[in-house]
Structure 1
Amino acid sequence: MRAASRLPRLSLAASVLLAALFSAPARALVVPLAGWTPVNGNANVWTDRAGACLLREERHGQAYPTFSTQEDARAFALRLQKALGQNKAGQDKLGQNKLSEIVTQPVERAGTWAVLASYTHEQGGVAYRISQLYLSDAGLLRTVTGSSAQHEASACVNEMRDFIRYLAN
């Protein structure tokens, strides 16, 4: 399976949760990880040398608030966790949710708060561990998503997760 197909799209339930507020525009994604390159020249999708890890930046047309307090971001994180857990689009043929081990938390970004989600996503019989950062970019949702096979042991896994957790903005 190609690495670029590993990342799930936002669920309808998660999309419905997003409310309209304005924020300052965020910078474009810069991937400071050594050896990572854009996939097919697309600067919004990056992979490591071995293709074991994938990063994707997406800008969505839906409204997304800027959280000025940790409590506001935490409240959204809890709603997002619930929505991801009820993700109808992520169910398999037997009605089992393909998203599991869902954890969300607020993370600080330059004086505002973003939301970080982490979960396991099953696709085609393979489990992937996903880290997804939800950011406000001028009042619109922008996500930075990292993916690797669930038990991937390459160095890129921790580098990618640290980048999303601490540096992506």
Structure 2
Amino acid sequence: MPARAFPALLAPVLLTLLALSGRSAALIVPITGWTPLNGDANFWADPSGQCVMREERHGQAFPQFTTPDDARSFAVKLQSSLGRSVSNVVTQPVDRAGNWGVLAAYDYQQAGVKYRVSQLYLSDRGVLRTVTGSSAAQHSPACVSDMRDFIRYLAN
């Protein structure tokens, strides 16, 4: 399976999580050489195709976290829920200009290939929006560090 394969695991996990627990333009990836795939400004790849990022708006209600404690509480639920279907799950709250999101990192296996995934959960006017990046776990391409830093610090 090529590194461009993108995990399609999120819908059932998100529905479970949402039971527990300003409008944006398309994602802009300010990483040199990254381009939208097939002209889709919500799906980006590095020049080698070894790292991909996708922004999705899920249409499900998602709370706006205004304190780190609210985000941390969701992060704990997310870690527990994701841990049922993926491995090596780590979550943490992340500050986005006074609002809070949750960052998750985990390993996901598909068709015999293990992927390392970084995923940011944000509220966009009360609706879930995610920014997800992945790459094959057995490789350590140069794009991984830039992708993870973008998701961790810049994706908004």
TM-score above 0.5? yes
Equivalent residue letter for 1:76: F
Match of 2:40 in 1: 42
User: 4+ residue stretches of structure 1 with deviation over 6 A?
Assistant: none
The equivalent residue for 1:100 is 87
Task: Name structure 1 gaps, 5 residues minimum.
Answer: 88-98
Distance 2:13 2:51 in 1: 27
CA distance in 2, matches of 1:53, 1:160: 8
- 8 Å CA contact 2:16–2:81 kept in 1: the answer is no
Cα distance change on mapping 1:126 and 1:2 into 2, 3 Å: closer
Q: Which structure is richer in relative contact order (CA contacts within 8 A, separation 6 or more)?
A: 1
- Give the secondary-structure state (helix, strand or coil) at the position aligned to 2:28: coil
Offset from partner CA, 1:74-93 (integer Å, 9 cap, x none): 00000011111123xxxxxx
DSSP 3-state at the match of 2:10: coil
Name 1:131's counterpart in structure 2: 118
Preserved CA contact (<8 Å) 2:26 2:41 = no
Q: How many residues align?
A: 155
What is the match of residue 121 of structure 1? 108
Unaligned runs of 5+ in 2: none
Calculate percent identity across the aligned residue pairs.
59
Partner of 1:79: 77
Give RMSD over aligned pairs: 1.7
